[in-house]
């Protein structure tokens, strides 16, 4: 394990950001040193780092593949560290063969293009921070941290005129009256090799993954529901919003609806991830908090209800629900690739989108190799490929923006 990874893990522990497996590893380190993992300064972190580094049997530890049951991962992680074997993370060692790269490829960045309802396009990677535009009285602002903010009246109680259409009035639904079915919407698009964070007009936060598009109105003011259109992958933290509805002006929770090519997900206020890339065989909806309902009229009449840690898998013929480790679904938000018994083709689709490369398999069965582990999304592509090579008989060759995959 490399020293910078140790340092990063100690800082995450101090900030309370470690997951269960990482927490067990850090606490086990201190246990072996005979210390308590109490609060410590930056200097103390550095001192502890040196002690841990020296205490490990070797500063370079070979990589192993993992395929652990979810509930025993914490215990297993602590045991393998005691044995001096780092198997939770992919780590390159000098004994591994470097992948054949003509030129290394940098990871993706925070970049996207915003298209306004009037057709104006704004490259968010080039534009300066501050106010970008005003649409329907809503200010569109790029903040200093790169986040895109739609600033609106902070009063969360909205008034709806009886008979008012929804937030995307027939614009993303069949039979829309507009000559251009997508007119009147903002469109945020991330290229391959890009991701972006946006705060919608209702306060909902959305993280858009590489090669994705989110369409939404400039304001939800006076509308019966909040409806957006997603192509690709996004993580949503939906805000609770109430509206005044009907002649009695009774307050009710305002639903938030995410429409994809195969389904609609309806929520009131919750945290969830949707993966609906066109090149993926399934649309996966993973719930972290709250509850959501999934409708797919072409597949079934009833609504599929998800509870926390549920994942709905829509393969185009049916929707199946299973319990999952939600960390796997949202690892990309935390800057990681995380795999558990995942085939190489699935892994390389993620790599292709994030590094903006084309993957070419020179053996028909090369993509069937199974992998498990975690590696940073912010490393160059060579490190990712080296990690995969070091745990298998797969070899990679990078030429320009093409990655050739061979099984020995």
343-366, pLDDT tens digit by residue? 999 999 999 999 999 999 998 889
Read out DSSP for 84-127?
Answer: T---SB----TTSPPPEESS--PPPEE--EEE-TTS-EEETTTS
Instruction: Kindly state the tokens that stand for 195.
Output: 């991701």
- Cα gap 47→88, rounded to integer Å: 24
Span 176-217, pLDDT tens digits: 333 443 448 999 999 999 999 999 988 899 999 999 999 999
Parallel/antiparallel/unpaired status of strands 121-123 and 402-407:
unpaired
Mean pLDDT across 374-393: 91
pLDDT at 109: 93
Question: CB-based contacts of 343: which residues, under 8 Å, 6+ apart?
Answer: 367, 368, 369, 370, 371
Question: What one-character DSSP code corresponds to residue 291?
Answer: -
Q: Are 387 and 92 in contact (CB under 8 A)?
A: yes
Evaluate if residue 321 carries a pLDDT over 80: yes
Question: CB-based contacts of 359: which residues, under 8 Å, 6+ apart?
Answer: 348, 349, 351, 352, 402, 403, 405
pTM for the model stands at 0.71
Model confidence at 10, pLDDT cuts 50, 70, 90, reads confident
Secondary-structure class of domain 109-154+184-240+253-330 per CATH: mainly beta
Q: Are 374 and 336 in contact (CB under 8 A)?
A: yes
Domain 335-407 in CATH 3.55.50.30: yes
Instruction: Kindly state the tokens that stand for 102.
Output: 């003509």
User: Taking the domains of the chain in order of start, what are their residue ranges?
Assistant: 109-154+184-240+253-330, 335-407
| DSSP percent split of the chain into helix, strand, coil, nearest 5 | 20, 35, 45
Mean pLDDT across 140-147: 84
- Cα gap 171→180, rounded to integer Å: 8
- Cα gap 255→3, rounded to integer Å: 47
Question: Where is pLDDT greater, at 367 or 164?
Answer: 367
Q: Are 89 and 390 in contact (CB under 8 A)?
A: no
Q: Are 280 and 306 in contact (CB under 8 A)?
A: no
Model confidence at 31, pLDDT cuts 50, 70, 90, reads low
- In Å, what is the CA distance from 377 to each residue of 108, 193, 283? 8, 11, 22
Span 64-91, pLDDT tens digits: 333 333 333 444 444 433 333 333 344 4
Torsions phi, psi for 188 (to 5 deg): -105, 120
Torsions phi, psi for 353 (to 5 deg): -70, -40
Taking the mean position of all CA atoms in its chain, how far away is CA 324? 15
Identify the sign of the CA torsion 221, 227, 122, 155: positive
- Cα gap 35→68, rounded to integer Å: 29
Same CATH fold assignment for domains 109-154+184-240+253-330 and 335-407: no
Helix axes 42-55, 3-15, angle to 10 degrees: 130
Taking the mean position of all CA atoms in its chain, how far away is CA 272? 10
Enumerate the β-bridge partners of residue 354: none
Question: CB-based contacts of 54: which residues, under 8 Å, 6+ apart?
Answer: none
Enumerate the β-bridge partners of residue 96: none
- Nearest Cα to Cα of residue 283 among 304, 301, 268: 304
């Amino acid at each position: 394990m490399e020293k910078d990874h140790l340092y990063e893990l100690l800082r995450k522990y101090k900030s309370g950001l470690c997951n269960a497996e990482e927490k067990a590893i850090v606490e086990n380190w201190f246990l072996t040193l005979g210390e308590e993992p109490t609060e410590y300064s930056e200097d103390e972190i550095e001192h502890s780092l040196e002690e841990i580094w020296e205490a490990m049997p070797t500063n370079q530890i070979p990589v192993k593949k993992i395929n652990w049951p979810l509930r025993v991962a914490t215990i297993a992680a602590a045991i393998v560290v005691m044995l001096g074997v780092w198997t939770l993370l992919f780590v390159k060692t000098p004994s591994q063969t470097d992948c054949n790269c003509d030129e290394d490829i940098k990871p993706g960045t925070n970049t996207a293009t915003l298209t306004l309802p009037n057709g104006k396009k704004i490259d968010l990677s080039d534009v300066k921070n501050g106010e970008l535009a005003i649409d329907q009285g809503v200010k569109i602002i790029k903040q200093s941290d790169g986040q895109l903010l739609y600033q609106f009246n902070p009063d969360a109680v909205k008034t709806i005129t009886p008979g008012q259409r929804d937030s995307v009035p027939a614009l993303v639904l069949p039979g829309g009256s507009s000559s251009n079915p997508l007119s009147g919407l903002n469109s945020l698009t991330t290229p391959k090799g890009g991701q972006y964070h946006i705060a919608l007009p209702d306060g909902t936060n959305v993280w858009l993954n590489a090669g994705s598009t989110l369409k939404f109105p400039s304001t939800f003011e006076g509308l019966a529901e909040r409806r957006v259109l997603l192509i690709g992958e996004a993580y949503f933290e939906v805000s609770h919003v109430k509206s005044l509805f009907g002649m009695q002006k009774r307050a009710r929770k305002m639903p938030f609806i995410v429409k994809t090519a195969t389904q609609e997900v309806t929520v009131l206020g919750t945290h969830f991830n949707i993966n609906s890339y066109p090149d993926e065989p399934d649309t996966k909806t993973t719930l972290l908090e709250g509850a959501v309902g999934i409708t797919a009229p072409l597949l079934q009449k009833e609504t599929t209800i998800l509870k926390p840690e549920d994942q709905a898998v829509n393969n185009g013929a049916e929707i199946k629900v299973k319990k999952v480790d939600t960390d796997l679904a949202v690892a990309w938000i935390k800057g990681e690739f995380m795999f558990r018994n995942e085939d190489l083709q699935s892994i390389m689709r993620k790599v292709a989108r994030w590094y903006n490369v084309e993957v070419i398999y020179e053996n028909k069965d090369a993509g069937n190799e199974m992998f498990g582990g975690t590696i940073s999304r912010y490393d160059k592509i060579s490190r990712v490929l080296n990690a995969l090579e070091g745990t298998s008989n797969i070899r990679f060759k990078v030429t320009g923006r093409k990655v050739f995959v061979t099984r020995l």
